[in-house]
Structure 1
Amino acid sequence: MSTQHWKEIVAQKRQQRTESIPKEWILTNLPSQDTLNVIDFPESCGLLTELDIQITNTEVTLLLEKLAQGTWSAVEVTTAFAKRAIIAQQLVNCLTEIFVDKALARAAELDAHLKTTGKVVGPLHGLPISLKDQINVKGVDSTMGYVSWAFKPATKNAVLADILEANGAVLYVKTNIPQTLMWGETFNHVFGRTTNPYNRNLTSGGSSGGEGALVALKGCPIGVGSDIGGSVRIPSAFNGVYGLRGSYGRIPYGGCVNSLEGQDSILSVLGPLSNSIGGLKVFVKSVVDQKPWFVDPLAVRKPWNEEEYQLIEHGKGEKLCFGILWDDGITKPHPPVIRGLEETKKALLAAGHQVVDWKPLNHGEFYKAAGSIWSAAAAEDFRVSSAPTGEPVIETMDLSYEDVDAPPTESIPLFRPNPNGISSYELWQVQRRKRDLRQEYLDHWNATAVVTDTGRPVDAIISPCAAYVAPPHGMNKSAVYTTIWNVLDYVALVVPTGKFVDPVLDAPRPPHEFYSSVDKENYEFYKPETFKDAPITIQVVGRTLEEEAVIGMAEIVDAALKAYSPKL
């Protein structure tokens, strides 16, 4: 099909999105494009009422209490978050599908149920939840950034969408992603680019970049993303929100659309983003309590374990030992990232916990294995998905590529798929080595018992989320600080430090002895003014299927950071 044809489909799809926005919510006083930081604009734009602002600033657990008590109706709460989501869309282009009318009808049903029975439908009664574009909602498109998938609405809900609705949640918008999903930034031909609300010259991350930006602007209390190499955590980190990457199968994935389907060695997982750890906890608990393993054959049979959350196996949380990964031995992080790690260490020590240095083990081999596994047949997968309309496969996230008729500037993708693939035997050897690497890392972790004061191995790792904070568009060329935990299938949770790039505190440091040309390039890339206002975050990493414990330990880290820095 001709190039013109796929562009016509894009125009029709974008028009459909525009028409789905309530006309009275379209703003005429948007900030100019020169205004980079728009994080505070929603509350000053005039669209939100005082009640809307109060609702959207309320932490998830308290919000659920008010909904259950009938203090705020589901219609009021849904309206408030829907309005704020539409403001966010006009600021940073974070939404793909908008179905507010359907959501308000659902909210009204919930209000009627509560009024009639005096009981909530479930633990998420009346709570609006946004979904990454790939999570199917009946009657709504899941384009995943492919033009050829437009105007093909899902015939049924994904398993997770069914579970959320059974728990009383209100689904109302879906959020933007990169074409193919396999990018740490968010741009596709269908819906365009999502920008960072703290600095619109910077990326919102990917592939759940729409979710990250929407949560940061408080357009939803909980958003759901997916993560195969950092796609929940990178947007969480770059937008300064909390985000959880759980282990394979803990949150049901059935019924979603995806890239690289059939690749079962490093699995994509679904995970929540929120402005509080409480939001992450209530999401995970409410989902696994619905016993998803009875409707998704790949879901892990593990209900919520309160003892694990209470950290019974980790000294009841009274004195923990954290290992800090300062760098992976390949790329040293930029000054703001190092400052975030340093301040986290001080906060944990002040709170009475032990902190030791975490020594990386074979991280380069993990990265190489991940790239080989993902790229084994990726090029063909992308060609098959894009071929029906003839749209080009995106090869760079550079700004220049927004004009698809212009040749893109040189920019290295997150990984380059092998155009010819590799043999099954070659793939098996990579997967075998990955298995052995996981065993070596497990032994490495267990051996840390000799350096802790607790007699236990290190309880959790504090890690950078990336070698930099949110970079300019087209410049997120690596996801190694998140990918390592995907290959290991470790649980990882992003915690904002409450700090932002400061040109004085984060001045360039003297050159170190570079690990490689990549490390040298990363060092030279850093200019404080380039990263103005970018949030600083860290990851709390635990072992496989330790979601409850990681949430509990992340709460301790979060509390320590807030207690140590009263200005947070």
Structure 2
Amino acid sequence: MPGVIWLSHSLVVLLPVALLGVVLLGATMLFWWQAPAWSKIPRAQKRREEALRRMAALAERLRQQEPELDPKPILELPLEKLVQKLLADELSLESVLCSYLEEAMKVHQEVNCLTDFLDECEEQLQALKKLKKSERGLLYGVPISLKDVYDCMGHDSTCGLAQFLEKPAAKDGVIVKVLKAQGAIPFVKTNISQTLLSFDCSNPIYGQTLNPQNLKKTSGGSSGGEGALLAKGGSILGMGTDTGGSIRIPASFCGACGIRVTGYRLSNSGVASAVKGRKAVVTVAGPLAWDVESLALCLRALLSEHMHRLDPTVPFLPFREEVYSSNRPLRIGYYESDGFTQPSPSMARAVKLTSRLLRDAGHQVIPFSVPRTEYAFFHLYTGSLLADGGASLLEKLTPKKLWEQHTAVEEYQQEFIAKWRSLDLDVLLSPALDPAFYVGYPAKVQASSFYLGLYNLLNFPAGVVPVTTVTPQDEKELAFYRGYYRDHVDKSFQEAVRGSVGLPVAVQCIALPWEEELCLRFMKEVETLVKSKMEPK
């Protein structure tokens, strides 16, 4: 029987990982060795160098306007306070942008997280200064970073692929337009993994982004540039995308908060993708920030009639303050393991700690088990991402039996919801994926990301909140980690997360579709309870 179990794990875990590896390798070889694509990469790297020089020049011009500027107090302000001070003219737009330009360049020098500077931020700053106070938006004057894939007029959205270089966007994407209308100032674009189908953060154009808290570790992916920049204070608010944890993994690896919303609640118009047309596992937009309130403020700004007018395919569902601000006790399901990838000691401890805090605060906490995890990962999740064996990525062919695949996903979603309803749950608490992996290891243990990818398959809103850090005791217990299948995949997971004392550990908070406000309310509750526990009595 142990041999059968080992073989089962190999079939369920290694084959999809190997398939993904072959697809990514094939894509790399296809685009890397094409002469036109090859020649684009050095030019792109030179363009980035030139863009960063322009970024430094703008920072210097702004610094000359305020030579006594001390950026430290500005960089320490939470987003809500920063906006208040900007709206009240207690801080100048120039001082805030200058502070973040300077800090972002410092962070980039350490971890390689930037791909482009958005020169138009200077012009936008001048336009904002002309607005009447009544015309200022919810994000007035806030410098914001954007993942590489967000279209900004005149700039590439590469997805880490050489074939997408030198094809600048003809216009801003819908989310970028709405952010600007709300007063935000997009100022940089950030690094990603090649094709966006990895939770590492490396591509042949811009290289590897590192975790600022441990330079031997990855920042996570595919929104890894965002995670790294936020973790070191080079941005206060960033926009990522999430197909299988691509917002939540960088946030948890780097100690930030992040949320993926229900598919189609935010516009996807003007967001680039290596493979378009997926319906069962859709890529969604979402913010990353230092705290939950910042995520809520960003969604207040985005979930506007303006976004619906720009993209009528997105329903007009304004942010529901009454749900987010509610203080009624919650009925919370939780699990420490998905029964597929054994959690690291710190992952399991984080859920235990959080569930205890929630119970002590008066919430009901009920055990939950994920139904048919192996089936969901191998047949539904991996099958939906690579339904054609990777042909669309390599040859743009049409997947076979796609309708049957969509039906199977819908049936599993209903099975999951039925179990949720049978326990009368409001929300669900689960492990995230922690701590940060060594560079190169995500490709070896791709299946471990299913702690987060499950909710892309289900299309549930899900966010991560940091709750603790890896302790020496966690590291000691990791020495006894064997995994559920005790094969080399489990061994690679153990190797990936070792040497992580002091690195952040998050939990994942989940709600049913279209319940982003409830998800954020749950995240805020977790954040508040953890903070109160950490504060001296």
Relative distance call for 1:199 and 1:509 in structure 2 (3 A) is closer
Does the 8 Å CA contact 1:228/1:268 hold for their aligned counterparts? yes
Bigger helix share:
2
CA-CA distance at 1:357 after TM superposition:
1.7
Partner of 1:20: 51
Separation in 1 of the partners of 2:492 and 2:164?
40
Secondary structure of 2:365's aligned partner: strand
CA-CA distance at 1:8 after TM superposition:
3.6
Partner of 2:22: none
Partner of 1:463: 430
CA-CA distance at 1:482 after TM superposition:
0.5
Aligned residue runs from structure 1 range 193-342, under 5 A: 193-311=208-326, 317-342=327-352
Matched, 1:165 2:180: yes
Secondary structure of 2:216's aligned partner: strand
1:11 to 25, 37, 42: 42
Separation in 2 of the partners of 1:136 and 1:524?
35
Matched, 1:564 2:533: yes
Separation in 1 of the partners of 2:153 and 2:55?
27
Aligned residue runs from structure 1 range 175-186, under 5 A: 175-186=190-201
Relative distance call for 1:384 and 1:173 in structure 2 (3 A) is farther
Does the 8 Å CA contact 2:160/2:192 hold for their aligned counterparts? yes
Does the 8 Å CA contact 1:251/1:284 hold for their aligned counterparts? no
Does the 8 Å CA contact 2:482/2:491 hold for their aligned counterparts? no
Secondary structure of 2:499's aligned partner: helix
TM-score (norm 1): 0.82
Partner of 1:97: 116
Partner of 1:354: 364
Secondary structure of 2:72's aligned partner: helix
Separation in 2 of the partners of 1:322 and 1:534?
27
- Which string of whole-angstrom CA distances, capped at 9 and with x for unpartnered residues, describes residues 387-406 of structure 1? xxxxxxxxxxxxxxxxxxxx
Separation in 2 of the partners of 1:526 and 1:333?
13
Does the 8 Å CA contact 2:478/2:498 hold for their aligned counterparts? no
- Which string of whole-angstrom CA distances, capped at 9 and with x for unpartnered residues, describes residues 239-270 of structure 1? 11000111011111112211221122221100
Relative distance call for 1:144 and 1:337 in structure 2 (3 A) is same
CA-CA distance at 1:501 after TM superposition:
1.7
Separation in 1 of the partners of 2:134 and 2:389?
48
Does the 8 Å CA contact 2:305/2:316 hold for their aligned counterparts? no
1:482 to 452, 467, 477: 452
Separation in 2 of the partners of 1:97 and 1:24?
9
Relative distance call for 1:204 and 1:524 in structure 2 (3 A) is closer
Partner of 2:504: 535
Matched, 1:66 2:76: no
Q: How many residues align?
A: 492
Matched, 1:375 2:386: yes
Relative distance call for 1:300 and 1:378 in structure 2 (3 A) is farther
Separation in 2 of the partners of 1:520 and 1:22?
43
CA-CA distance at 1:431 after TM superposition:
1.7
Gap regions ≥5 residues in structure 1 = 27-47, 312-316, 386-419, 449-456
Relative distance call for 1:103 and 1:384 in structure 2 (3 A) is farther
CA-CA distance at 1:159 after TM superposition:
0.6
Aligned residue runs from structure 1 range 25-64, under 5 A: 25=56, 51-64=70-83
Partner of 2:463: 493
Partner of 2:100: 81
Aligned residue runs from structure 1 range 362-401, under 5 A: 362-368=372-378, 369-377=380-388, 379-383=390-394
Does the 8 Å CA contact 1:502/1:528 hold for their aligned counterparts? no
- Which string of whole-angstrom CA distances, capped at 9 and with x for unpartnered residues, describes residues 107-161 of structure 1? 1321232xxx343421111111111111100111111211122122111010111
Relative distance call for 1:13 and 1:60 in structure 2 (3 A) is same
CA-CA distance at 1:74 after TM superposition:
1.4
Does the 8 Å CA contact 2:262/2:459 hold for their aligned counterparts? yes
CA-CA distance at 1:213 after TM superposition:
0.7
Separation in 1 of the partners of 2:109 and 2:122?
21
CA-CA distance at 1:102 after TM superposition:
2.3
- Which string of whole-angstrom CA distances, capped at 9 and with x for unpartnered residues, describes residues 331-371 of structure 1? 21011111211221222233222222222212222212010
Separation in 2 of the partners of 1:489 and 1:528?
28
CA-CA distance at 1:503 after TM superposition:
2.0
Separation in 2 of the partners of 1:322 and 1:346?
12
Superposition CA RMSD, Å: 2.5
Secondary structure of 2:138's aligned partner: coil
Secondary structure of 1:119's aligned partner: helix
CA-CA distance at 1:4 after TM superposition:
6.2
- Which string of whole-angstrom CA distances, capped at 9 and with x for unpartnered residues, describes residues 154-205 of structure 1? 1101011111111111011111111111111111111111110111111111
Does the 8 Å CA contact 1:177/1:209 hold for their aligned counterparts? yes
CA-CA distance at 1:504 after TM superposition:
3.0
Separation in 2 of the partners of 1:280 and 1:22?
31
Relative distance call for 1:152 and 1:384 in structure 2 (3 A) is farther
Does the 8 Å CA contact 2:173/2:269 hold for their aligned counterparts? yes
Does the 8 Å CA contact 1:337/1:464 hold for their aligned counterparts? yes
1:432 to 395, 398, 407: 407
Separation in 2 of the partners of 1:517 and 1:528?
16
CA-CA distance at 1:230 after TM superposition:
0.7
Amino acid across the alignment from 2:351 = L
Separation in 2 of the partners of 1:268 and 1:208?
12
Relative distance call for 1:326 and 1:50 in structure 2 (3 A) is farther
2:164 to 143, 149, 155: 149
CA-CA distance at 1:380 after TM superposition:
3.1
Of residues 139-148 and 273-282 in structure 1, the stretch that sits farther from structure 2 once superposed is 139-148
CA-CA distance at 1:520 after TM superposition:
7.4
Does the 8 Å CA contact 1:163/1:287 hold for their aligned counterparts? yes
Separation in 2 of the partners of 1:545 and 1:438?
14
Relative distance call for 1:465 and 1:518 in structure 2 (3 A) is farther
2:477 to 508, 511, 519: 508
Separation in 2 of the partners of 1:367 and 1:209?
23
Separation in 1 of the partners of 2:288 and 2:160?
21
Separation in 2 of the partners of 1:49 and 1:557?
39
Partner of 1:472: 438
Partner of 2:129: 111
% identical aligned pairs: 28
